[in-house]
Amino acid sequence: MTALSIKDLKVQYKIKDKLINAVDGVSLSLEDNESIGIVGESGCGKSTLGLSIIRSLSGGKIESGDVLLDNKSILTMSEEEFGKKVRWKEISMIFQGAMNSLDPVFSIKQQFEEILKEHHHENENHLEIIKKSLDSVGLPMSVLDKFPHELSGGMKQRAVIAMALLLRPKIVIADEPTTALDVLVQAQILSLLKKLKKEGMSLILISHDLGIISEVSDKVGIMYAGKIAEFGTMQDVYSNPKHPYTQALLKSTPKIRGGSDLISLKGNPPNLASPPSGCRFYDRCPQAMEKCRKEPPTIKTKAGYVSCWLYE
């Protein structure tokens, strides 16, 4: 069953008189117990997409499109209804850099308690709820008396994941959950995400690193300048990348490409305040043609789609 559908979502930020089209017509479906990876260069709109789903955009506005949870729009809900029924209970998010924004003056226990109080769990046995969550990330109850600075990076990240799992949501959005962690701790966090998926959770994993995404995800959306350039099963995109941007990303990803020389992608993504008309990858694409100056068509592939004139 489809757990979450994103339909032609457009999100803008306004800075002075400029509009930034951070997410520009993204459509995706997440099935129950599925893991989708969203990958792309810095500034391509990955976090904005995640924050839009959980309605926690700061300064941004959803211009159009919809997000359906179990076939019901969650964008048309009042903020009160969304906060009560959906945020943290049905969908939660591990925010980018969250482990570094744990409040240094409160113990881990106080920070868990705060979430439970906010969600009106005053009368329940807090310790029992917290224990379940800590168990699932492999942390002992003794961390509760600690302050953030007393925990290692890996333990802090686990604590943040445990907080996101506290109300047992069925969908978790994890935004760069392994960035800034050393490779051994990265591997622990990735196997934790795999374990949570095995236990029935659906996952949207956001990363700039295709290698990380390939470890955990069933499907992958390659995002470029606010749009999904290619979407498909991990296996398909990995073995038969269609979009020239996906091909370039694979060539510059060490873990996937193994022993061969890495090829870096030259140039920068376009300015999202004034994106070029037509294909946004035009200036960097080795296969660009004259017709690419027009918006590329979206072509169905085996288990997804690609947005490129080459496959018309």
Ligand X SMILES: Nc1ncnc2c1ncn2[C@@H]1O[C@H](COP(=O)(O)OP(=O)(O)OP(=O)(O)O)[C@@H](O)[C@H]1O
Separation between Cα atoms, residue 181 and residue 195, nearest integer Å: 19
* In the complex, least distance from residue 280 CB atom to ligand SF4, rounded to whole angstroms: 8
Residues 62-101 interacting with ligand X (rule: CB under 6 A) = 96
Letters for 236-275 (x = contact with ligand SF4 by CB under 6 A, - = none) are -------xx-------------------------------
Partner residues linked to 233 by β-bridges: 219
Q: How many CB atoms lie within 10 A of CB 161?
A: 24
Q: What angle do CA 112, 95, 50 make, to 5 degrees?
A: 130
123 binds ligand X (CB under 6 A): no
CA distance 213 to 231: 13
Q: How far is the CB of 271 from ligand SF4 (least distance, A)?
A: 17
Q: Which listed residue (1, 16, 17, 59) binds ligand X by CB under 6 A? A: 59
Residues in contact with ligand SF4, shown as a per-residue x/- string from 282 to 311 under the rule CB under 6 A: x--x-xxx--x---x-----------xxx-
Q: Mark residues 8-47: x for contact with Mg ion by CB under 5 A, - for none.
A: ---------------------------------------x
Q: Which long-range contacts (CB under 8 A, 24 or more apart) does 221-224 make?
A: 221/26, 221/28, 221/36, 221/37, 221/38, 221/39, 222/39, 222/40, 222/246, 222/249, 223/26, 223/38, 223/39, 223/40, 223/44, 223/45, 223/46, 223/49, 224/40, 224/41, 224/44, 224/269, 224/280, 224/281
- Chosen from ligand SF4, ligand X, Mg ion, none, partner binding at 112 (C-beta under 5 to 8 Å by type): none
Instruction: Identify which range of 26-34, 179-187, 198-206, 278-286 contacts ligand SF4 by CB under 6 A.
Output: 278-286
Residues making contact with ligand SF4 (CB under 6 A): 243-244, 279, 281-282, 285, 287-289, 292, 296, 308-310
